[in-house]
A and B are shown apart, each in its own frame.
Chain A
Amino acid sequence: MAAVSSQSTASMASQQNFIAGVSVVALGWIFRRKQTPLQGDSRKDSHQAALDPRDRRRSRGVKWIAPGERVDIAGHTISAGMLYVGRARSSDRQWRSTIDPSLEVARHNADIHGELMSYWPSYATLAPRSRLAYLQWLAGGRSDPSVGVGLAFLFFYGLEKRLFADKAHGEIVMLIAEVERLRELFAHNRSFRRYSGHFLDAARAIQALAANSGTVDEPPSQSQDVDWELPLTLRLALGRRLAAGEALTADWMLTWYLAHPETRLRTPASRAFPLFCDLFRLRFKAAYPDGLLISPPKPKLNYEYRAASGDFTSTISADSPDIINLRQPIRVATTLAESCADELAGYSRLIGKNPDVAHGLEAISLLPKDLREHSMREAGADLTRWLESTVGDTIGVAKGSELLTRLELELDNAVRIPKKLVRTMSSILEALGYGMEPDPRYGGPSPKSEEPVVLFKTPKNGGGASGHAYTSAMATLAIAAGVAHADGVIVDQEIGQLVNSVQDNLHLTASERRRLSALATWLLLVPPPFAQLKKHLSGISEDSRHRLARFALATAAADDRIDASEVKLLERFYKLLDFEPNALYSDLHALEGDDAAIQDEPITVRPATADARKHRIPTEPGAERAGPIMLNHERIERVRRETEVVATVLSDIFAEPADSEPDLAPEVGADKPAAFDGLDRRHTAFVDELLRLESWPRTDFEALCRSLQLLPDGAIETVNEWSFERFDAALIDDGDPLVIQYDVLPDEAREAAA
Chain B
Amino acid sequence: MKQPRLKARDKDTIIQALNAGVVPRLGLQHVQVGRAGEVQALVRDIERVADGGAAFRLVIGEYGSGKTFFLNLIRLVALERKLVVASADLGPDRRLHATGGQARSLYAELTRNLSTRTKPNGGALASIVERFVADAHKSATAGGQSVEDEIDQRLAPLQDLVSGYDFTSAVAAYWRASDAADDEQRAAALRWLRGEFGTKTEARQALNVRSIIDDSNIYDYLKLMAGFVRIAGYGGLLVTIDEMVNLYKLQSTQARSANFEQLLRMLNDVLQGNNGHLGFVLGGTPEFLMDTRRGLYSYEALQSRLAENRFATDGLVDMSGPVLRLQSLTQEELFVLLGRIRSIFALGDPAAYLVPDDAFAVFMEHCSKRIGEAYFRTPRTTIKAFVNLLSVIEQNPGAQWQDLLGYIEIEHDRPDDELVESNSEDDELTSFKL
A residues contacting B by CB (< 8 A) are: 262, 325, 327, 680, 706, 710-718, 720-721, 724, 728, 730, 734
Given the known inter-chain contacts A680-B138, A713-B126, please indicate yes or no for A718 contacting B131, CB distance below 8 A: yes
- Can you pick out 30 interface pairs between chain A and chain B where the beta carbons lie within 8 Å of each other? A262-B142, A325-B141, A327-B142, A327-B144, A680-B138, A710-B134, A711-B130, A711-B133, A712-B130, A713-B127, A713-B129, A714-B127, A714-B131, A714-B132, A714-B134, A715-B130, A716-B118, A717-B118, A717-B119, A717-B127, A717-B128, A717-B131, A718-B131, A718-B134, A720-B118, A721-B118, A721-B131, A724-B117, A728-B4, A730-B117
On chain B, the residues within 8 Å of A720 by CB distance are 117-119
- Tell me how many residues of B have a C-beta within 8 Å of chain A: 22
- Contacts of B133 on A, CB cut-off 8 Å? 711, 714
Cα distance A730–B7 in the bound complex, in angstroms = 13
Chain A residues near B132 (CB, 8 Å)? 714
- Find the A residue at minimum CB distance from B132: A714
Q: Return the contact of A721 from the options B117, B130, B138 (Cβ within 8 A).
A: B117
Chain A residues with Cβ under 8 A from B128's Cβ? 717
Q: How far is the CB of B252 from the nearest CB of chain A, in Å?
A: 41
What residues on A are CB-neighbors of B178 within 8 Å? 711
A711 to B136: give the CA distance in the assembly, Å. Answer: 12
The 4 closest A-B pairs by CB, nearest first: A714-B130, A720-B118, A717-B127, A711-B130
A residues less than 8 Å from B130 (CB atoms): 711-715, 717
Q: Given known contacts A715-B134, A720-B118, what 17 new A-B pairs fall within 8 Å (CB)?
A: A327-B143, A327-B144, A680-B138, A710-B134, A711-B134, A712-B130, A714-B127, A714-B130, A714-B131, A717-B116, A717-B124, A717-B128, A721-B131, A724-B117, A724-B118, A728-B4, A734-B119
Classify the interface of chain B: helix, strand, loop or mixed: helix
Residue of B nearest to A710 (CB): B134
A714: chain B residues within 8 A (beta carbon) = 127, 129-134
Closest to A27 in B: B181
State the CA gap A91–B138 with chains docked (Å).
41
Q: Would you call B144 and A325 a contact (CB within 8 A)?
A: yes
Given A721-B117, A734-B119, is A716 in contact with B144 using a C-beta cutoff of 8 Å? no
- Minimal Cβ-Cβ distance residue in A for B80: A724
Tell me which of A262, A706, A716, A728 has the highest count of chain B C-beta atoms within 10 A of its own C-beta: A716
* A713: B residues at CB distance < 8 A: 126-127, 129-131
CA of A482 to CA of B67, assembled, Å: 82
Please give, as numbers and ranges, the residues of chain A lying within 8 Å of B134 by CB-CB distance. Answer: 710-711, 714-715, 718
Which chain B residues border A716 with CB–CB below 8 Å? 118, 127
How many angstroms between the C-alpha atoms of A680 and B142 in the bound complex?
A: 13
B19 to chain A, nearest CB (A): 23
Give 1 or 0 for each of B104-146: 1 = CB within 8 Å of chain A CB: 0000000000001111000010111111111000100111100
- A734–B116 Cα distance when bound, in Å, is 13
The docked-state distance in angstroms from the alpha carbon of A710 to that of B131 is 10
- B233 to chain A: closest residue by CB: A721
Most chain B CB neighbours (cut-off 10 Å) among A262, A325, A706, A734: A734
CA distance A673 to B128 in the complex (A): 27
Q: How far is the CB of A236 from chain B (nearest CB, A)?
A: 20
- How far, in whole Å, are A643 and B321 apart by their CA atoms in the complex? 66
Q: How far does the alpha carbon of A734 sit from the alpha carbon of B128 in the complex, in Å?
A: 14
B124: A residues at CB distance < 8 A: 717
Question: Once the chains are docked, how many angstroms separate the CA of A728 from the CA of B4?
Answer: 9
Q: List chain B residues, Cβ under 8 A from A711.
A: 130, 133-134, 178
A730→B118 contact, CB < 8 A: yes
What is the bound-complex CA distance between A753 and B428, given in angstroms?
Answer: 71
Please, which residues of chain B bring their CB within 8 A of the CB of A728? 4
Contacts of A715 in B (CB 8 A): 130, 134
- Least CB distance from B220 to A in Å reads 26
Docked complex Cα distance between A325 and B131 (Å): 23
> Which residue on chain A has the smallest CB distance to residue B143?
A327
Q: Which residues of A are found within 8 Å of B118, using beta-carbon distances?
A: 716-717, 720-721, 724, 730
- B residues 359-406 near A (Cβ < 8 Å) are none
CB distance from B16 to the nearest CB of A (A): 17
Point out the residues of chain B lying under 8 angstroms from A721, CB to CB. 117-118, 131
Chain B residues with CB below 8 A from A718, complex form = 131, 134
Distance between Cα atoms of A152 and B141 in the complex (Å): 35
B1 CB to closest chain A CB, in angstroms?
Answer: 14
Give every chain B residue within 8 A of A680 (Cβ-Cβ): 138
CA separation between A714 and B135, bound complex, in Å? 9
Give the distance in Å from the alpha carbon of A710 to the alpha carbon of B137 in the complex: 10
CB contacts (< 8 Å) of B117 on chain A: these are 720-721, 724, 730
What separation, in Å, do the CA atoms of A357 and B349 have in the docked complex?
A: 47
A564–chain B nearest beta-carbon distance, Å: 76
- Closest-CB distance, A732 to chain B (whole angstroms): 8
- Give the distance in Å from the alpha carbon of A730 to the alpha carbon of B118 in the complex: 6
User: How close is A220's CB to chain B, nearest CB, in angstroms?
Assistant: 23
Residues from chain A with Cβ under 8 Å of B142 in the complex = 262, 327
Instruction: Chain A residues near B181: list those with CB within 8 A.
Output: 706
The B11-46 residues at the A interface (CB cut-off 8 A) are none
B124 nearest CB across to chain A (Å): 8
The CA-CA distance from A262 to B144 in the complex, in Å, is 13
A332 to B90, CA, bound (A): 58
Mask, B267-309, CB within 8 Å of A = 1, is: 0000000000000000000000000000000000000000000
Chain A residue at smallest Cβ distance from B183:
A29
CA distance A680 to B139 in the complex (A): 12
When distances are taken between beta carbons in the complex, the residues of chain A under 8 Å from B4 are 728
Per the bound structure, the CA–CA distance linking A706 and B179 in Å amounts to 10
Q: How distant is the Cα of A749 from the Cα of B141 in the complex, in angstroms?
A: 30
Which of B4, B119, B128, B143 gathers most chain A CB within 10 Å? B119
Q: In whole Å, how far is A333's beta carbon from the nearest beta carbon of chain B?
A: 14
> Can you name the residue of chain B whose Cβ is closest to the Cβ of A735?
B121
Q: How far is the CB of A297 from chain B (nearest CB, A)?
A: 10
The CA-CA distance from A710 to B116 in the complex, in Å, is 20
Residue of B nearest to A731 (CB): B118
Separation in Å of the B190 CB from the closest CB of chain A? Answer: 10
Q: Provide the bound-state CA to CA distance between A717 and B138, in Å.
A: 15
CB neighbours of A712 from chain B (8 A): 130
Residues of the B chain whose Cβ atoms lie less than 8 Å from the Cβ of A724:
117-118
| Residue among B128, B130, B132, B142 having the largest count of chain A Cβ atoms under 10 Å | B130
Chain A nearest CB from B140 CB (Å) reads 11
Report the Cα distance A716→B118, complex, angstroms: 8
**A326 CB to nearest B CB, Å:** 9
| Complex Cα–Cα for A441 and B178 (A) | 61
Chain B residues with CB under 8 Å of A717's CB are: 116, 118-119, 124, 127-128, 130-131
> Which residues from 123 to 174 on chain B have a C-beta closer than 8 Å to any C-beta of chain A?
124, 126-134, 138, 141-144
**Distance, CA A271 to CA B143, complexed state (A):** 29
With both beta carbons as reference points, the residue of chain A lying nearest to B2 in the complex is identified as: A728
Taking the closest CB of chain B, its distance from the CB of A334, in whole angstroms, is: 11
Query: Nearest B residue to A330 by beta-carbon distance?
Result: B142
Q: Which residue of B lies closest to A712 (CB)?
A: B130
The CA-CA distance from A541 to B4 in the complex, in Å, is 60
In the complex, residue of chain A having the shortest beta-carbon distance to the beta carbon of B126: A713
* Chain A residue, CB-CB nearest to B7: A729
Give A373 to B117 CA distance when docked, in angstroms. 54
Nearest chain B CB to A331 CB, angstrom units: 10
Closest B residue to A718 by beta carbon equals B131
- Bound together, the chains give a CA A716 to CA B117 distance in angstroms of 12
Instruction: Write out the residue numbers on chain A whose beta carbons fall within 8 Å of the beta carbon of B116.
Output: 717
Cα distance A217–B133 when bound, in Å?
Answer: 40
A721–B118 Cα gap in the complex (Å)? 6
Residue in chain B with minimal CB distance to A683: B134
Q: How far is the CA of A89 from the CA of B132 in the complex (A)?
A: 45
Chain A residues positioned under 8 Å from B138 (CB to CB)? 680
**Bound complex: CA A360 to CA B381 (Å):** 73
Closest CB-CB distance, A690 to chain B, in whole Å?
Answer: 14
CB of B285 to closest CB in A, whole Å = 35
Q: What separation, in Å, do the CA atoms of A716 and B134 have in the docked complex?
A: 12
B312 nearest CB across to chain A (Å): 38
- Interchain CA distance A422-B209 in the complex, whole Å: 72
The distance from the CB of A722 to the nearest CB of chain B, in whole angstroms, is 10
Residues of chain A with a CB closer than 8 A to B129's CB: 713-714
